[in-house]
Amino acid sequence: MIIGLNHFQVVSALLFGLGLLTIITRRNAVAVLMGVELVLNAGLVNLVAISRYQTGGLDGQIFALFGVVLAAAEAVVALAIVLQLFRARRSVDTIDVTDMRG
Amino acid sequence: MNYQTNSYLLTWMIFTPAIGIGVILAALGLRARLNLAQRQIDQIARGVGFAATLMVGALSLVLWSRYDSGSSALQFVHHFVWMRSWNIEYFVGIDGLSVALVILTALTFIIAMIASVPWWGKIEDGHHPHFSKRRVSGYIILFLLLEMGVLGTFCAQDFFLFYVFWEVMLLPMYFLIGVWGAPPRVDEQGRVRGGPYAAIKFFLYTLAGSVLMLLAMIAVYYTSGPSTLVDGTKALHTFSIPALTQMAQAGLFAHAAPILGVDFVKIIFVALFLGFAVKVPMFPFHTWLPDAHVDAPTPISVILAGILLKTGGYGILRFDVQIFGGALAWAAGAIGALGVISILYGAFVCMAQKDLKKLIAYSSVSHMGFVLLGIAALTPQGMTGAMFQMISHGVVSAMLFLLVGVIYDRAHTRDIEGFGGLAAQMPEYTGLTGLAFMASLGLPGLAGFVGEILVFLGAFGAADTAFRGYVAVAALSVIVTAGYYLWTMHRMFLGELNKKWEGLWDMNWRERLALYPLAVLTIVLGFYPAPVFALVDTSLHSLLAALPRLVGG
Amino acid sequence: MELQTFNTLWLIPLFPLLGAAYAGLLGKRIHRRYGELAVSLPTVIMPWISFAVAVSAVVTLAQAGPEVALYNRLWTWIGVDWMQADMAFLVDRLSAVMILVVTFVGSLIHVYSLGYMKGDPGYWRFFAYLNLFMFSMLVLVLGDNFLLMFVGWEGVGLCSYLLISYYYRERDKAAAGMKAFIVNRVGDFGFTLGVFLLFWGLAAANSPSYNPSIQATTAAPVVKRASAKPDPAKLAEHVAFQASWGLAGAPCRSHQALGRASTLGGHAQGHHVEGHATTSLAFRHVERLLEDPVKREGLLSQNVLGLSLVTLVGLLLFLGATGKSAQIPLYVWLPDAMAGPTPVSALIHAATMVTAGVYMLSRLHFLMALTPVAMTVVATVGALTAFFAATIGLFQYDIKKVLAYSTVSQLGFMFVAVGSGAFWVAIFHLMTHAFFKACLFLGSGSVIMGCHHEQDMRLMGGLRKLMPVTAITYFISSAAIAGFPLFSGFFSKDEILWKAFDTGNVILPGGGFVLWLLAAVAALMTSFYMFRSYYMTFSGEYRGGHAHEAHGHDEAHGAHGHLPRESPKTMTIVLGILAALALAGGYVGLPHLWHLPNLFEHWLAPVFEGSAHTLKWAGYGHGLEWGLMITSILIAFAGFFAARWLYRDHRNPTPQKILDSDRRLVRGVHRWVFNKYYVDELYQKTVIQPTLVLSRALSIFDTGFIDAIVNLVGLIGRLFSMLQGWIDRTFIDGLVNLVGDTVMNAGRALRRVQTGRLQAYVYSLVAGSLLMVVAAWLMAA
């Protein structure tokens, strides 16, 4: 069996689904953050795969590298926010943080 | 007659108070920077007020000395186009109809200014704050604005300009009565009276009159024929009073299309007359006067009685007689009758008053009735008498209101019955009051007599012999007037002194400064009225001489 | 009449004016610092200076010949168009008599006041008023025209008011002053109307084509006349007007008037002054005008309200005179005027001011002579006043009230003379009356002072021994007023009675006889009540002491001693001088009957010459005149002896018996007369109260009706605007608010979506994405 684009896409879809599931189900902000990372990486897998099988060149890979760096930066910022949140509230439960309610 | 600018004197006079206002506003604006205390601001405002009124007074003396009493033409003209699109001009000038009133205005405002400051003597007993210490700069600003309005009204020779100044007069008066007048109170019948009520009554009443005037003005504008503006451009219509007069003398208005089936001249005459009659005030449009007077502060009463009422009489002469005299033959009888009613009615109502200020206010109604009667007589004596009556009433009523202020500042009541025996306590005050009363009741040798006798004499000779009856009836007022003044004298000053008033003090220098010039003037005008005649006679003569031409036959 | 300029005439009134200003403005301070005399001396000297100037003027006048008058024009007072009144003084032979009387008697009374007013707290005020009175009275007498006379006329009224109310702390006395002034104003009403009527009547008579109108209907011809070329004939007529209008005497004026007319004519074309002479209000101009028969006819032919204009003028002027000279119906103020200090009563209410009406009518003799109706009214009213005032005088107990009613009565005599056409006699009696009545009043003042301000004659008596000078002078003056032969009053009063009998100028049934009868009875009563007052006051024993001890409340009197003492020299000397004049003052006017020169009539003849030919006399013979003279002598003595019999030494019980009589008629009549016929009460009910009611009603009408309408209009305006406001709020503004409200409500509903829960947002994100996918799929399909 030749591993093709479809396989990558399935993996990507699974990753995305798992990430989304994490975001939706987990109330811990750190866990949600992890879900977000999963979703992001699902997208990156897609980018690399499509670049490799469909368009050629290295565009997708480069873009994915950017994405990784971005994800890292994002994680730093997000974790800092979560940390501050914890300091302020002694909790990282998203249910507790509804200050933006209308 | 094409009047070109030949003097800026009147403009300077009219706007000198405006300069004063500017200075006070500047002082207020720089207050923080110059680190001025409230007291200093107040003193500056009063000083500026004095400077401005005295300046106007000085200019009025210049005016008097340079006025050519032999000419009935406009003098000291300042004339330029103001709003070209509506042919409105800035046009000031004076003739015999206004010159004496302008001088009287300048004098009265100086006197009123003296009565508006808490200087030169004790004015209060410490329990009742004096109006002259409240919101001083605002008071002075409005006071000067009022002076500007009055002077402008007397000097304006453009109908529109006249109207503007007429309304300028109204606004400061409203605030001066409303803010510095008596606080609101509930009277015996449970009605709310006091400064604000009186002010709004005055304002609305006069405004209602001037609305009629505005309508008449617009109608006249569109009826007027083509003329030339001062810079030579042609204009289809005009607001210029001399031009309108010329057109009237050429029969333009006499032959104008009727409005609502009534002759143009008649309807305009009536509209204007009603506007002015409110100001005079003529029975039955007089009821704003007692309220306004009773609740106005002393100097404002002085101005109101001394000057503002005269704008009504002046307006009648300037517009109703000078331009729309064509309707006079038709209206004179009614005006004379209303004048007589005002005279007698005012006198009788005076007799029943218990409030001294109200009494004097009603006496104004009575005395201004003479002006109407004199004008309606259409004889030289009547006209001159009416004019003189305006001047003498200006002097005498100013005196009377100042005197009421004197006693009110001390006793905080004006209830005539509540006094008694004051002659022993305040002899100087009694003497001056006696003089003013005598002048007001027309004692020969004092100012009031000359006007009265001339009006009577003139009215008696009116072509309409009904006027003889009018005079006979109006002459009854000499008895009634003597009655109420002497009775007031009797109740206030004679008899045993009421123990309650043992603490009252006699005149102080501030009051003397305001009253003695008027007292002297009262006597001088009584024995030597010629200067006033000299100022007014020529113009009144030509005014009368032109009347037949206004009919346009 | 020729005018001779006499430039110092104006000084005559000036000096008292200066005195008044001095005492009035500075007096109080000077009094406090330098004492009484510093105030009073200058003011007492001033009338004497006036008297000196007056004498010099009269001497000049006497030397200048009969037709001359002294004239002093100061300035044009009121000059408007063709009417002119000057500030000008004129002394003819009539005013000469007046100024001498006024300044002389006035000066004497000033001197008297020095003593009488001593120690009064209002000293300065008194002398200021007194001087001001002198000024006004002199202006009245000297004024050359109606208006200037009116200045004096009202001026004396004012001073009278001030002096009657002099003791102003007492309400009654203050009220008496007020009454005097207001009653006089009623007279002034007549006076002014009379002047107006006369003025326009004259103007009409002066110019037949005269028309003051500039009204529409009459305007055209005026214009036409003026624009036409001046007609030479007309111009001549114009100049003639100037001449005939009596301007010859004052050529400067005539030029002025001409110049004025021409400048005005040139200045304002078509001015109606063209062709008109200045109409002066000067007496001499009026007289001059009426000398012209055409003009006189012009005046006489005019009617007003069915009455002849001249008659109406005469009656109106007489109304003025009744006010000032206290005649029926306006006499009521004079008895009350006795509230003033006694020198005032002497000066103002006896000698000078109250005679102003007589003077005025005599001044206008030329006018009065034209109207028999007015003359009749004047004479009749005078006679009735003389009679009724005398009856009231019979029963008074207040010594000053007796004199007051006597004054009213004597003034009535003067008006009888005026009405009869004997103007010089009126002035003659005016003069003699000034002497003896001033003396009587001053004597009563002396008595009142002696009796510690007691005025009731029942509490006097026996004063002849205590106050001999006062008693003698009082007796002499009483004799004079009663008309004892050879006393001054005899000559003047007898002449009045004779002229009244002889007159042909009144239209009464019985002619002058009625006048004579009334006046003769009045004279009888005069003699009686004067001697009654003399005997009650001076004869018998002093009755006042007990009363005073009984009162005992006044400490000050104790220091003076209880018995009256003679007054100080300043007062007694004045009394002496006046008594001498009362005795001898009549010799200037001896009756024709005695074939001695009548200086007084001769002196005044030129003044009254103008009317002499208009007046008619019955021309009774000498026999009758002798008879009347003897009758009046008998009358005087009858009154004297009756009074002596009844009141001398207070011994005769008859008067008391009459008073105590039980008969209702006697009591009723007595009460009626004693209370002055209830005239005051009548006026109170018929005039004063209705006036007050009317004024109150009008005042209520003013606030309750006229002002109510104004307020109603205001209220309607407010109600209308309230309605407007409601409509505005409900409908117009409602629509606007609806839009806003909708948006608000929508927002309020939608905000619930924003829960703030992270997961909720993600759900909706997912749901939204799915929706878009489904939508895209559907659309693709």
Tokens describing residue B253 = 């208005």
Q: What pLDDT score was predicted for residue C439? A: 92
Q: pLDDT tens-digit profile of C671-715? A: 888 888 888 888 888 888 888 899 899 888 888 888 888 889 888
Of A78, A2, A77, the closest CA to residue A33 belongs to A78
Q: pLDDT tens-digit profile of C703-761? A: 888 888 888 988 898 899 999 999 888 888 888 889 999 999 998 888 888 887 888 88
User: With contacts defined as CB-CB under 8 Å, which chain B residues touch C219?
Assistant: 547-548, 551, 553
Residue B531's identity, in one-letter code, is P
On whether the CB atoms of residues C420 and C414 are closer than 8 A, the answer is: no
For residue B92, pLDDT beyond 80 = yes
Q: What pLDDT score was predicted for residue B109? A: 95
Q: Which of B287, B461, B538 comes nearest C200 by C-beta? A: B461
Q: pLDDT tens-digit profile of B49-87? A: 999 999 999 999 999 999 998 888 899 999 999 988 888
For residue B18, pLDDT beyond 90 = yes
Q: What pLDDT score was predicted for residue B390? A: 94
Q: pLDDT tens-digit profile of B250-286? A: 888 888 888 888 889 999 999 999 999 999 889 889 9
* CB contact C76 to B (< 8 Å): yes
Q: What pLDDT score was predicted for residue C729? A: 85
Buried b (16+ CB within 10 A) or exposed e, B139-169: bbbbbbbbbbbbbbbbbbbbbbbbbbbbbbb
- Measured between alpha carbons, how far is C463 from C535 in angstroms, rounded to an integer? 10
| Residues 6 or more apart in contact with residue B429 via CB below 8 angstroms | B403, B406, B407, B422, B506, B507
Q: How confident is the model at residue C3 (pLDDT cuts 50, 70, 90)?
A: confident
Residue C540 DSSP class: S
- Of the listed ranges C215-229, C266-280, C309-323, the least confidently predicted one is C215-229
For residue C198, pLDDT beyond 50 = yes
On whether the CB atoms of residues C498 and C422 are closer than 8 A, the answer is: no
Q: What pLDDT score was predicted for residue C611? A: 84
User: Which of residues C345 and C298 earns the better pLDDT score?
Assistant: C345
If you average pLDDT over residues C570-574, what whole number do you get? Answer: 88
Q: pLDDT tens-digit profile of C166-190? A: 988 888 888 899 999 999 999 999 9
* CB contact C766 to B (< 8 Å): no
Q: Domain holding A36: CATH number?
A: 1.10.287.3510
Does A101 contact C755 at a Cβ distance shorter than 8 Å? yes
- Of the listed ranges A69-73, B360-364, C250-254, the least confidently predicted one is C250-254
Does B494 contact C165 at a Cβ distance shorter than 8 Å? yes
- Of the listed ranges B180-184, B445-449, C508-512, C685-689, the least confidently predicted one is C508-512
Strand B75-83, strand B88-94: pairing? antiparallel
Q: pLDDT tens-digit profile of C464-490? A: 888 888 999 999 999 999 988 889 989
User: With contacts defined as CB-CB under 8 Å, which chain A residues touch C762?
Assistant: 20, 23-24
Q: What pLDDT score was predicted for residue B521? A: 94
Instruction: Locate the chain B residue with the closest alpha carbon to C77.
Output: B528
If you average pLDDT over residues A87-93, what whole number do you get? Answer: 86
- Of the listed ranges B228-237, C312-321, C552-561, the least confidently predicted one is C552-561
For residue C108, pLDDT beyond 50 = yes
Does C269 contact B421 at a Cβ distance shorter than 8 Å? no
SS3 state of residue C90? strand
Residue C600's identity, in one-letter code, is F
Q: Where are the alpha helices (DSSP H) in B226-308?
A: 241-249, 264-279, 288-295, 298-303
For residue C252, pLDDT beyond 60 = no
If you average pLDDT over residues B145-151, what whole number do you get? Answer: 95
Q: What pLDDT score was predicted for residue C214? A: 33
Distance from CA of C268 to the nearest CA of B (A): 6
If you average pLDDT over residues C315-332, what whole number do you get? Answer: 91
Could you tell me the residue range of the domain that residue A45 belongs to? 5-98
On whether the CB atoms of residues C287 and C203 are closer than 8 A, the answer is: no
* CB contact C753 to A (< 8 Å): yes
User: With contacts defined as CB-CB under 8 Å, which chain A residues touch C746?
Assistant: none
Q: pLDDT tens-digit profile of A56-73? A: 888 889 999 999 999 999
Dihedral Cα C480, C485, C489, C495, nearest 10 deg = 170
For residue B553, pLDDT beyond 60 = no
For residue C206, pLDDT beyond 80 = no
- Measured between alpha carbons, how far is B123 from B402 in angstroms, rounded to an integer? 13
C297 vs C212, C309, C509, C612, CA distance in Å?
A: 20, 12, 27, 18
Q: pLDDT tens-digit profile of C360-406? A: 999 999 888 888 899 999 999 999 999 999 998 888 888 899 999 99
H or E element that contains C767: helix C758-780
If you average pLDDT over residues B405-421, what whole number do you get? Answer: 88
- Measured between alpha carbons, how far is C636 from C648 in angstroms, rounded to an integer? 17
For residue C49, pLDDT beyond 80 = yes
Residue C539 DSSP class: S
Q: What pLDDT score was predicted for residue C594? A: 81
If you average pLDDT over residues B480-500, what whole number do you get? Answer: 90
* CB contact C749 to A (< 8 Å): no
Q: How confident is the model at residue C39 (pLDDT cuts 50, 70, 90)?
A: confident
Q: What pLDDT score was predicted for residue C207? A: 65
Q: What pLDDT score was predicted for residue C707? A: 86
Q: What pLDDT score was predicted for residue C542? A: 81
Tokens describing residue C468 = 């001999």
To which residue do tokens 């300091």 refer?
A: A87
Q: pLDDT tens-digit profile of B302-335? A: 999 999 999 999 999 999 999 998 888 889 999 9
For residue C34, pLDDT beyond 50 = yes
Of C480, C456, C476, C457, the closest CA to residue C468 belongs to C476
| For chain C, percent of residues with pLDDT exceeding 70 | 88
Residue C138's identity, in one-letter code, is L
Does A97 contact C756 at a Cβ distance shorter than 8 Å? yes
- ipTM score of complex: 0.91
pTM of the model: 0.84
Q: How confident is the model at residue C568 (pLDDT cuts 50, 70, 90)?
A: confident
Does A24 contact C763 at a Cβ distance shorter than 8 Å? yes
- Measured between alpha carbons, how far is B213 from B219 in angstroms, rounded to an integer? 10
Distance from CA of B120 to the nearest CA of C (A): 21
Q: How confident is the model at residue C618 (pLDDT cuts 50, 70, 90)?
A: confident
| Residues 6 or more apart in contact with residue C439 via CB below 8 angstroms | C473, C474, C476, C477, C575, C578, C579, C581, C582
User: With contacts defined as CB-CB under 8 Å, which chain C residues touch A95?
Assistant: 757
Tokens describing residue A21 = 């599931």
For residue C247, pLDDT beyond 70 = no
Of C317, C342, C315, the closest CA to residue C470 belongs to C342
Number of domains chain A is built from: 1
Q: How confident is the model at residue C234 (pLDDT cuts 50, 70, 90)?
A: very low
Q: What pLDDT score was predicted for residue C561? A: 54
B392 vs B147, B180, B485, CA distance in Å?
A: 20, 27, 17
For residue C276, pLDDT beyond 70 = no
Does C757 contact A95 at a Cβ distance shorter than 8 Å? yes
User: Which of residues C364 and C663 earns the better pLDDT score?
Assistant: C364
- Measured between alpha carbons, how far is C403 from C410 in angstroms, rounded to an integer? 10
- Which chains does chain A touch, 3 or more C-beta pairs < 8 A? C
Does C699 contact B349 at a Cβ distance shorter than 8 Å? yes
- Measured between alpha carbons, how far is C670 from C657 in angstroms, rounded to an integer? 13
- Measured between alpha carbons, how far is B24 from B49 in angstroms, rounded to an integer? 9
For residue C647, pLDDT beyond 90 = no
| Residues 6 or more apart in contact with residue C475 via CB below 8 angstroms | C534, C538
Residue C574, Cβ neighbours under 10 Å: how many?
29
Q: What pLDDT score was predicted for residue C15? A: 93
- Measured between alpha carbons, how far is C366 from C117 in angstroms, rounded to an integer? 43
Q: What pLDDT score was predicted for residue C219? A: 35
